[in-house]
Structure 1
Amino acid sequence: MKYKDKWISNATDEELSAEREKVRQDCCNPNFDDNYREECHTTLGRFDREMSKRAWGNEEPQAPSIHREHGWHLPNDDD
Structure 2
Amino acid sequence: MQFSEDWFRQASDAELESERETIRLQYVIEQDHEAFDAQYDLLHQFDAEMVRRDNERYASENPDPKPRVHREHGWYLPN
TM-score bucket (shorter structure)? 0.5 to 0.7
**Shift, 1:10, TM fit:** 0.7
CA offset digits 1:1-50 (Å, max 9, x no partner): 511111111100000000000001111114x4110111000000000000
Query: One-letter code of the match for 2:10?
Result: N
TM-score (norm 1): 0.67
Which residue of structure 2 aligns with residue 65 of structure 1?
none
Runs of 5+ consecutive residues of structure 1 not aligned to the other structure: 60-71, 73-79
Which residue of structure 2 aligns with residue 46 of structure 1?
45
CA offset digits 1:41-60 (Å, max 9, x no partner): 0000000000001011175x
Runs of 5+ consecutive residues of structure 2 not aligned to the other structure: 60-73, 75-79
Q: CA RMSD in A?
A: 1.9
Query: One-letter code of the match for 1:29?
Result: I
Query: One-letter code of the match for 1:4?
Result: S
* Distance in structure 2 (CA, Å) of the matches to 1:29 and 1:47: 19
Q: Percent identity?
A: 29
After TM superposition, the runs of 4+ consecutive aligned structure 1 residues lying more than 4 A away are none
Correspondence list, 1:1-79, <5 A: 2-30=2-30, 32-57=31-56, 59=59
* Distance in structure 1 (CA, Å) of the matches to 2:53 and 2:28: 25
Point out the structure with the larger strand share: 2
